[in-house]
Structure 1
Amino acid sequence: MSRLSICLIPTDGCQQQHGSNKWILVPHGAGLFKEKFGILVPTAAGSIFIPSYRNADFKKTAHITQSAEGLGYHSAWISDHLMPYSIFDPWTAISGLAVLTSQITLGTLVSCNLFRHPSIVAKMSTTIDHMSGGRFVLGLGAGWLEAEFRGYGIPFPKYSERLGRLSEASKLIRRMWLDEKATFEGTYYQVKEAVCNPKAIQKPTLPLWIGGRGEKLLRIVAAEADGYNLNEGTIDEFKVRLPKLRQLCKEMKREYDSIEKSWLGTVLIGENSDQVRSKLKKYQPTAISAERYLGPAVMGTPNECLRKIEQYKELGVTHFIGWFPEIAEDESGLKLFAREVMPSFN
């Protein structure tokens, strides 16, 4: 952020405020989020979105993250799935990346709330914040891929319960981050005088993002989150989601501009149209429709990518996180984007 300002975030109960829905002053740069660019780090071999990553290779994952850091990317993120791919656990992988990097922000996008108890997630988060020197962002989601729940023997409740659990988890985690002894009595989660020390390096604590495609998720974002991510969000989808988020913030007396809005999707860039067509022919997945793949994508020559990003920016999106389909075998797109696109915003 370009300078320090004050914004409001919900604590839902600091040490002196148990059971309330209070707000505290936090130096988080309300309305002052400058444009940032990050990458989704490949960890899933055979993913249709990063098909060049053919084998689960942590050395390759680390190398790509270090390359992004060296090129000036702001952030590197890891998704959270158990199957069907050969895929690394995000928390273990980020722990490794934390000690192999020195500047780039690291985060989960998103960690599935139902895979781990939120009290343990709170503890793991502050540990990684220390390992990284204060560079961790916790992104949480409700979970959606039923097959991996069944495969791993994890209950898969209906959507309303998944949202309820995500809401409670967000409150519980923040309380454990801030309180010396956290007590929480929810419908789904309970902790009693839980101690989560050491506290995060980031003050007053580390950022909490909420990510997902459902509109009902926005109420949790407005109430609890420092950041919002819409995975594969199109221009039209952001035009619908963000005004709804603004209205919810107004109802909750929350400063809308204190929430960082982010986009996650395909970045396919080439020096010229021929390069773009060649990459598209090689990497476009056949398992999903062209409309779904191309609609939210930032794709084309540097100037074409700039124009697409400007459209998102005009809607209030400031953090752009891309996956580069060719990145595991060719970093030229990663470099071209850093050289020709990012400087226009920074």
Structure 2
Amino acid sequence: MDLRIFTEPQQGASYDTLLAVAKATEDLGFDAFFRSDHYLVMGDGDGLPGPTDAWITLAGLARETSRIRLGTLMTAGTFRLPGVLAIQVAQVDRMSGGRVEFGLGAGWYEAEHTAYGIPFPKEKFDRLEEQLAVITGLWNTPIGETFDFDGTYYQLKDSPALPKPAQSPVPVLVGGMGAKRTPELAARYAAEFNVPFASVEDTGRQIERVRAAAKAAGRTDELVYSNALVVAVGKDDAEVARRAAAIGRDVEELKANGLAGSPAEVVDKIGRYAEQGSTRFYLQVLDLSDLEHLELIAAQVKPQVG
């Protein structure tokens, strides 16, 4: 069972803060450090010191860590042209020695597009489908050959399809709760399917949809199935309450919708997700100053699920 640390830097985090969390992630034996790809704070708060770019951040962390996997949940397809994104991800993969995992989503938060002058197209999912085809097509084109793509939204002609990532292939993550098109995209392009912030029961239903889509597509390999869930673990009730309050959440709500409570409670909840097929968990850590939280999870949760 993989436990990964997942951060939301748009809520307010400098690169130095993210570096401290990534180094703790590595030192404490977690599998990976992931981050969101957003440019605007959500909910209350001023977001200071301001947004950090996902792939610039991961490029820096690629040179300052040595073991952990690095990736995004999810890169917003609206932020970058697919050819440029293929170059960026391939370069970071090389900079990390082949430790990148690439989550790509359609993009959804219109306000951040308005705030930074980024076009917010209506046909986001159709574009996502073409983006996945372009990016994986560029990476998979043999060296010395060229790549062409004639889509509705993107056209490439005589691309040298360089650089190549260190990994072949880079693991691609697709996620979401869509009932038809999302599972079909995962079946075609993904090594991993991520179920974001869903109940145990909804997770099971979505995993079954993806498995059915993979079977229909003729896949013979099994996808990795994962969950992203907010985490708030404490040695006692008071510590759980303190951690919930620090992120503006109610303890009982967190227990219902995330991984919260004592280490034993969290281990039990992880087990219920595992029964549905999940083998990887992205622990959404929202208070990035609380490195003792990571230490507790590493000491009292991770050994029981590893």
- Tell me the number of residue pairs that the alignment of Structure 1 and Structure 2 aligns: 295
Q: After superposition, what is the alpha-carbon deviation per residue over 1:49-100, rounded to whole angstroms, capped at 9, x for unaligned? A: xxxxxx5321111011001100001010111112244210101111111101
- Residue correspondence of structure 1 range 11-22 to structure 2 within 5 A: none
Report the RMSD for the aligned CA atoms in angstroms.
1.9
Paired with 1:205 and 1:225, the residues of 2 have a C-alpha distance of 11
Shift in Å, 1:187: 1.4
* Unmatched tracts of structure 1, length 5 or more: 1-34, 48-54
Please tell me whether residue 279 in structure 1 is matched to residue 243 in structure 2: yes
Paired with 1:63 and 1:39, the residues of 2 have a C-alpha distance of 12
Q: Would you say the 8 A contact 2:226–2:282 is kept in 1?
A: yes
Q: After superposition, what is the alpha-carbon deviation per residue over 1:195-243, rounded to whole angstroms, capped at 9, x for unaligned? A: 23332211x2211111334334222111211111122122122122111
Task: Label 1:72 to 1:198 Cα distance change in 2 as closer, same or farther (>3 A).
Answer: same
For 2:278, the equivalent position in structure 1 comes to: 317
Whichever residue aligns with residue 291 of structure 2, its letter is: E
Please tell me whether residue 223 in structure 1 is matched to residue 188 in structure 2: yes
Paired with 2:111 and 2:286, the residues of 1 have a C-alpha distance of 25
- Residue correspondence of structure 1 range 106-121 to structure 2 within 5 A: 106-121=70-85
- For 1:205, what is the secondary structure of its paired residue? coil
Please tell me whether residue 154 in structure 1 is matched to residue 118 in structure 2: yes
Task: Label 1:110 to 1:245 Cα distance change in 2 as closer, same or farther (>3 A).
Answer: same
Shift in Å, 1:41: 3.1
Shift in Å, 1:246: 1.4
For 2:9, the equivalent position in structure 1 comes to: 43
- For 1:134, what is the secondary structure of its paired residue? coil
Task: Label 1:56 to 1:336 Cα distance change in 2 as closer, same or farther (>3 A).
Answer: closer
Question: What is the aligned counterpart of 2:20 among 59, 63, 66?
Answer: 63
Q: Would you say the 8 A contact 2:172–2:192 is kept in 1?
A: yes
For 2:44, the equivalent position in structure 1 comes to: none
Whichever residue aligns with residue 185 of structure 1, its letter is: D
Please tell me whether residue 338 in structure 1 is matched to residue 298 in structure 2: yes
- For 1:188, what is the secondary structure of its paired residue? coil
Task: Label 1:172 to 1:290 Cα distance change in 2 as closer, same or farther (>3 A).
Answer: farther
- Residue correspondence of structure 1 range 160-175 to structure 2 within 5 A: 161-175=123-137
Shift in Å, 1:251: 1.3
- Residue correspondence of structure 1 range 3-14 to structure 2 within 5 A: none
Please tell me whether residue 184 in structure 1 is matched to residue 149 in structure 2: yes
Whichever residue aligns with residue 201 of structure 1, its letter is: A
Question: What is the aligned counterpart of 1:92 among 17, 31, 56?
Answer: 56
TM-score, with length taken from structure 1: 0.80
Shift in Å, 1:294: 4.4
Shift in Å, 1:42: 4.5
- For 1:114, what is the secondary structure of its paired residue? coil
Percentage of identical aligned residues: 32
Paired with 2:98 and 2:139, the residues of 1 have a C-alpha distance of 14
Whichever residue aligns with residue 110 of structure 2, its letter is: E
Paired with 2:262 and 2:252, the residues of 1 have a C-alpha distance of 19
Please tell me whether residue 300 in structure 1 is matched to residue 261 in structure 2: yes
Paired with 1:146 and 1:298, the residues of 2 have a C-alpha distance of 29
Shift in Å, 1:290: 7.0
For 1:51, the equivalent position in structure 2 comes to: none
Paired with 1:327 and 1:187, the residues of 2 have a C-alpha distance of 41
